């Protein structure tokens, strides 16, 4: 099986702080991580490789330091890792991003077509969940989002069953490969990496694709230029004003309880 | 021709997700500013009643694709249907709910139409000068708000969180035209097949709950949620959680409130042991009344709480549950 995984390096948003004086983001010291949902996509690729044997190609688009994310992918058993990196890619919205990724995937598929395309269900920095669906459209392959389980039921006919989470339950879907799947956390747990893979990861130098080589990208479809959306304005959200703050140690538990009951009655809950 | 402001109406077995009507109400306002019309797209099988319902919620026209292939939601035929309609009628704006269905669909449509798409929008307005749609959304985990425009491509598309806009009043006497369109796809052409569906025992309806009893890291253990569940049940509400509690594995993701979870606006939100990181606050700051209990007086949750109690939630919760039981007993007697 030939698997392609697309990952993204993101700032760990749980660690983002706002400078209270300037109201701007403090970026210094914010660690970069592989987007958590992409880690589960990698884990699924790794599991399928162990069960059935597979060749795993991992791509990411980002600045040169996104190389670190690809090294992590090698720890998961990636056989080939590619960094799409060029200043011309910068400032891309989801439409330009899906173009950039899809063109690279089409190029790589010339060597050997892919059976399975794995994405995380969304990236935690943008939370758009739009790039996976966009790439599926551009490749013309069926899309299954929010996947929580994948089983291969017929290796020869390339038939798979995918469980997909919806608002009201879990859909059990049957599809013949190729398919593009966006993965939720339940799809697979990250394995412990064997030592040889850790060593291999440390020594990995990813292949770099830029805007000219090996793919002559259409300039007007890349980066900021190729992005229909524009940031109009950015601002820090205003906090609504706070009410009373009372210390239970001072007012006592029973008064605290009474205060809550009073609110519930006032608001028509009780 | 008048600018068309379109809303994709999301339905499952004829039951419409309320976000679609919320959006139709907003579409009416936007259409007025553009001197345009608000119209609804209804796709499904045997869903003419949904088309009529859309009219009663304010649609000036409904485009209906009724086909057995659309029996349940699937990306391929639904995307194809909406893409064809967009190509034929060229709407100015297309709005979808930021639900699992809306988000699955929107990215596919925008890519095929080569237009911009803004996800998870919490505010929509028309720029009085350029007449562009200004779409506001939280970014970087809610630390900043970003206003996005899509000046040179149409339609301007966004997915909008449930409960962002109020539900419009239903007027069953409204009349409008229903335009029937063909899907033009046969079942054999659709590559993904549904072979089974496992319904959830309990559908968590956090977005529309009137009371939410939410727990965070301060609970200290998974068992803490059983106390919260008891309280939520007594109040006829739902349990919610912060990302910290979900990441700790104490409760399912579907209970998560915040930027990566759900946006809620209950009458009362009880935040118990929740520090109130910005990513949580963006999902619950529109609650009518926020009660926070936390041992740390510096917790950011107190900056938005209407009633803040600095103390141990395990000290307060058992007597609170007892007091409510007493009240309830009183009410019944």
Distance CA A186, CA A35 (A): 15
Evaluate whether residue A232 is within a structural domain.
Answer: no
Tens digit of pLDDT for each residue in B220-230?
999 999 999 99
Complex ipTM above 0.95? no
**Candidates A143, A161, A259; nearest CB to B307:** A259
- Residue B282's pLDDT band (cuts 50, 70, 90): confident
User: Under an 8 A CB cutoff, do A263 and B307 touch?
Assistant: yes
**Residue A166 belongs to a domain with what CATH number?**
3.40.50.620
Residues of A in contact with B277 (CB under 8 A): 14
Task: Indicate if B180 and B249 belong to the same structural domain.
Answer: no
Spatial contact of B69 and A94, defined as CB atoms under 8 Å apart: no
Q: pLDDT value at position B22?
A: 97
**Candidates A132, A166, A267; nearest CB to B267:** A267
Residues of A in contact with B193 (CB under 8 A): 173-175
**Residue in chain B nearest A97 by alpha carbon:** B111
The two structure tokens encoding residue A205: 């130098």
Domain boundary (B127, B156, B189) is at B189
Task: Indicate if A247 and A124 belong to the same structural domain.
Answer: no
**Candidates B138, B288, B310; nearest CB to A267:** B288
Tens digit of pLDDT for each residue in A101-133?
999 999 999 999 999 999 999 998 888 899 999
Q: What is the 3-state secondary structure (H, E, C) of A65-83?
A: HHHHHHHHHHHCCCCEEEE
Distance CA A189, CA A140 (A): 29
User: Under an 8 A CB cutoff, do A138 and B143 touch?
Assistant: no
Q: What is the mean pLDDT of chain B?
A: 94
**Which helix or strand (DSSP H or E) is residue A234 part of?**
strand A230-235
CA A260 to chain CA mean position, Å: 41
Q: pLDDT value at position B205?
A: 85
User: Under an 8 A CB cutoff, do A231 and B147 touch?
Assistant: yes
Distance CA A92, CA A225 (A): 8
Evaluate whether residue A235 is within a structural domain.
Answer: no
Q: pLDDT value at position A27?
A: 62
Task: Indicate if B113 and B166 belong to the same structural domain.
Answer: yes
Choose among B105, B99, B85: nearest CA to B40: B85
Residue with tokens 């009529």: B52
Backbone angles phi, psi at A15, to 5 degrees: -100, 5
E strand residue ranges, chain B: 4-9, 11-12, 15-16, 37-44, 61-66, 93-97, 117-121, 123-126, 133-139, 144-149, 156-160, 177-180, 193-199, 211-215, 238-241, 268-272, 289-294, 307-310
Q: pLDDT value at position B176?
A: 98
Task: Indicate if A70 and A139 belong to the same structural domain.
Answer: yes
Chain A segment 227-256 residues within 8 A of B by beta carbon are 227-237, 239-240, 242-249, 253-254, 256
Eight-class DSSP state of A58 = E
Pairing of strands A169-176, A80-84: unpaired
The two structure tokens encoding residue B72: 């349940």
Question: Is pLDDT at B149 greater than 80 in this prediction?
Answer: yes
Question: Is pLDDT at A42 greater than 70 in this prediction?
Answer: yes
Task: Indicate if B167 and B126 belong to the same structural domain.
Answer: yes
Task: Indicate if B274 and B180 belong to the same structural domain.
Answer: no
**Residue in chain B nearest A184 by alpha carbon:** B253
Pairing of strands B4-9, B93-97: parallel
- Of B55-64, B88-97, B173-182, B282-291, which range is least confident? B282-291
Distance CA B154, CA B87 (A): 10
Question: Is pLDDT at B7 greater than 50 in this prediction?
Answer: yes
Domain boundary (B189, B220, B239) is at B189
User: Under an 8 A CB cutoff, do B324 and A95 touch?
Assistant: no
Our CA angle for B113, B106, A209, nearest 5°, is 70
**Candidates A167, A185, A230; nearest CB to B149:** A230
- Residue A95's pLDDT band (cuts 50, 70, 90): very high
**Candidates B119, B141, B323; nearest CB to A129:** B119
Q: pLDDT value at position A18?
A: 60
More confident residue, A239 or A6: A6
Evaluate whether residue B196 is within a structural domain.
Answer: no
User: Under an 8 A CB cutoff, do A228 and B114 touch?
Assistant: yes
- Residue A25's pLDDT band (cuts 50, 70, 90): low
Choose among A162, A168, A147, A174: nearest CA to B198: A168
Helix B224-234 crosses helix B313-332 at what angle (to 10 degrees)?
30
Evaluate whether residue B201 is within a structural domain.
Answer: no
Residues of A in contact with B79 (CB under 8 A): 137
Distance CA A117, CA A108 (A): 12
Distance CA B314, CA B123 (A): 38
**Residue in chain A nearest B206 by alpha carbon:** A167
- Residue B96's pLDDT band (cuts 50, 70, 90): very high
Task: Indicate if B178 and B47 belong to the same structural domain.
Answer: yes
A215 touches chain B (CB under 8 A): no
- Of B89-98, B176-185, B253-262, which range is least confident? B253-262
Domains in chain B, number: 2
Task: Indicate if A67 and A118 belong to the same structural domain.
Answer: yes
Our CA angle for A68, A69, A74, nearest 5°, is 95
Task: Indicate if A90 and A119 belong to the same structural domain.
Answer: yes
Tens digit of pLDDT for each residue in A61-75?
999 999 999 999 999
Backbone angles phi, psi at A266, to 5 degrees: -60, -35
Question: Is pLDDT at B260 greater than 90 in this prediction?
Answer: no
Evaluate whether residue A231 is within a structural domain.
Answer: no
Choose among B268, B271, B262: nearest CA to B207: B262
Please state, in angstroms and as integers, the Cα–Cα distance from residue B193 to each residue in A152, A260, B184, following that order.
15, 51, 18
Task: Indicate if B104 and B228 belong to the same structural domain.
Answer: no
Domain boundary (B155, B189, B223) is at B189
Pairing of strands A9-11, A2-7: unpaired
- Strand order through the sheet with B307-310: A244-247, B307-310, B289-294, B268-272, B211-215, B238-241
**Residue in chain B nearest A121 by alpha carbon:** B104
Task: Indicate if B175 and B210 belong to the same structural domain.
Answer: no
The two structure tokens encoding residue B291: 């009660």
Q: pLDDT value at position A22?
A: 56
Task: Indicate if A141 and A168 belong to the same structural domain.
Answer: yes
Task: Indicate if A55 and A154 belong to the same structural domain.
Answer: yes
Evaluate whether residue B290 is within a structural domain.
Answer: yes
Eight-class DSSP state of B170 = P
Residues of A in contact with B143 (CB under 8 A): 13, 16, 18, 25, 236
User: Under an 8 A CB cutoff, do A230 and B148 touch?
Assistant: yes
Spatial contact of B292 and B302, defined as CB atoms under 8 Å apart: yes
Evaluate whether residue A68 is within a structural domain.
Answer: yes
Evaluate whether residue A171 is within a structural domain.
Answer: yes
Task: Indicate if B225 and B167 belong to the same structural domain.
Answer: no
Question: Is pLDDT at B332 greater than 60 in this prediction?
Answer: no
A224 touches chain B (CB under 8 A): no
Mean pLDDT of A205-220: 96
Please state, in angstroms and as integers, the Cα–Cα distance from residue A33 to each residue in A37, A40, A70, A72, B153, following that order.
11, 13, 11, 10, 34
Eight-class DSSP state of A158 = T
The shortest C-alpha distance from A90 to chain B (Å) reads 17
**Alpha-helical runs (H) found in chain A:** 36-52, 67-75, 94-109, 131-139, 195-203, 248-251, 253-266
Task: Indicate if B69 and B119 belong to the same structural domain.
Answer: yes
Evaluate whether residue A77 is within a structural domain.
Answer: yes
Task: Indicate if B69 and B173 belong to the same structural domain.
Answer: yes
Q: What is the mean pLDDT of chain A?
A: 92
Residues of B in contact with A132 (CB under 8 A): 107
Structural domain of residue A94, as residue ranges? 2-221
Question: Is pLDDT at A252 greater than 70 in this prediction?
Answer: yes
**Residue B21 belongs to a domain with what CATH number?**
3.40.50.620
- Residue A219's pLDDT band (cuts 50, 70, 90): very high
User: Under an 8 A CB cutoff, do B100 and A167 touch?
Assistant: yes
Task: Indicate if B176 and B213 belong to the same structural domain.
Answer: no
Mean pLDDT of A12-39: 73
Task: Indicate if A169 and A200 belong to the same structural domain.
Answer: yes
Choose among B7, B16, B55, B21: nearest CA to B166: B21
Task: Indicate if A251 and A149 belong to the same structural domain.
Answer: no
**Candidates A127, A240, A261; nearest CB to B259:** A127
Question: Is pLDDT at B85 greater than 80 in this prediction?
Answer: yes
Task: Indicate if B102 and B236 belong to the same structural domain.
Answer: no
Tens digit of pLDDT for each residue in A150-173?
999 999 999 999 999 998 899 999
Q: pLDDT value at position A21?
A: 59
Distance CA B239, CA B247 (A): 16
Distance CA A208, CA A86 (A): 9
Pairing of strands A159-165, A143-154: antiparallel
Structural domain of residue B222, as residue ranges? 206-332
Evaluate whether residue A258 is within a structural domain.
Answer: yes
Task: Indicate if A246 and A198 belong to the same structural domain.
Answer: no
**Residue in chain A nearest B191 by alpha carbon:** A175
Evaluate whether residue B197 is within a structural domain.
Answer: no
E strand residue ranges, B60-116: 61-66, 93-97
Q: pLDDT value at position A78?
A: 96
Domains in chain A, number: 2
Task: Indicate if A165 and A42 belong to the same structural domain.
Answer: yes
- Residue B333's pLDDT band (cuts 50, 70, 90): very low
Q: pLDDT value at position A19?
A: 61
Residues of A in contact with B331 (CB under 8 A): 270
Evaluate whether residue A87 is within a structural domain.
Answer: yes
């Amino acid at each position: 099986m030939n698997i392609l995984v697309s990952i993204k390096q993101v700032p760990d948003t749980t660690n983002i702080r706002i400078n209270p004086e300037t109201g701007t983001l403090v970026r210094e010291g914010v660690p970069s991580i592989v987007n958590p949902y992409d880690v589960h996509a990698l884990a699924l690729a790794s599991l399928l490789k162990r069960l059935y044997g597979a060749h795993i190609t991992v791509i990411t688009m980002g600045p040169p330091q996104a190389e670190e994310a690809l090294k992590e992918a090698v720890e998961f058993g990636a056989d080939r890792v590619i960094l799409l990196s060029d200043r011309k890619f910068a400032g891309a919205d989801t439409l330009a991003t899906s173009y950039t990724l899809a063109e690279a995937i089409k190029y790589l598929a010339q060597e050997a077509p892919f059976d399975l395309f794995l994405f995380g269900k969304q990236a935690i920095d943008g939370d758009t969940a739009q790039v996976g669906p966009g790439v599926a459209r551009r490749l013309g392959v069926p899309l299954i989002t929010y996947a929580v389980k994948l089983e291969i039921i017929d290796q020869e006919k390339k038939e798979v069953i995918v469980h997909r989470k919806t608002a009201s339950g879990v859909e059990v879907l049957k599809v013949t490969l190729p398919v593009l799947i966006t993965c939720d956390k339940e799809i697979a747990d990250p394995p412990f990496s064997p030592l040889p893979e850790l060593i291999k990861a440390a020594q990995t130098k990813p292949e770099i694709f830029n805007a000219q080589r090996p793919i002559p990208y259409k300039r007007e479809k890349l980066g900021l230029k190729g992005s229909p959306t524009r940031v109009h304005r950015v601002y820090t959200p205003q906090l609504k004003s706070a009410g009373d703050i009372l210390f239970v140690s001072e007012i006592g538990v029973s008064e605290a309880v009474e205060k809550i009951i009073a609110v519930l009655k006032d608001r028509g809950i009780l | 021709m008048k600018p068309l402001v379109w809303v994709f109406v999301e339905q499952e077995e004829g039951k419409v997700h309320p976000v679609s009507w919320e959006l139709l109400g907003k579409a009416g306002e936007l259409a007025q500013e553009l001197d345009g019309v608000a119209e609804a797209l209804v796709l499904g099988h045997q869903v003419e009643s949904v088309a009529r319902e859309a009219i009663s919620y304010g649609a000036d026209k409904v485009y209906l694709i009724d086909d057995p292939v659309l029996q349940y939601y699937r990306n391929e035929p639904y995307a194809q249907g909406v893409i064809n309609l967009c190509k034929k009628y060229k709407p100015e704006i297309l709005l979808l709910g930021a639900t699992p269905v809306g988000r699955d669909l929107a990215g596919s449509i925008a890519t095929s139409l080569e237009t911009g798409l803004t996800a998870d929008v919490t505010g929509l307005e028309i720029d009085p000068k350029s007449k562009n749609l200004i779409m506001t959304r939280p970014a970087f985990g809610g630390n900043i708000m970003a206003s996005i425009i899509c000046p040179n491509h149409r339609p301007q598309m966004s997915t909008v969180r449930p409960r962002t806009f109020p539900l419009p009043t239903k007027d069953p006497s409204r009349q409008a035209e229903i335009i029937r369109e063909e899907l033009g796809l046969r079942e054999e052409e659709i590559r993904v097949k549904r072979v089974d569906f496992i319904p959830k025992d309990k559908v968590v309806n956090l977005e529309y709950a009137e009371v939410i009893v939410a727990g965070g890291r301060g609970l200290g253990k998974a068992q803490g949620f059983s106390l919260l569940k008891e309280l939520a049940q007594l109040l006829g509400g739902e349990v919610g959680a912060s990302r910290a509690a979900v990441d700790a594995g104490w409760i399912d993701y579907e209970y998560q409130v915040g930027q990566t979870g759900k946006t809620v606006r209950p009458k009362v939100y009880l935040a118990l042991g929740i520090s109130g990181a910005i990513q949580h606050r963006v999902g619950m700051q529109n609650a009518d009344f926020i009660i926070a209990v936390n041992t740390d007086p510096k917790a950011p949750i107190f900056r938005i709480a209407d009633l803040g109690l600095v103390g141990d939630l395990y000290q307060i919760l058992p007597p609170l549950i007892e007091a409510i039981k007493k009240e309830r007993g009183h009410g019944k007697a």
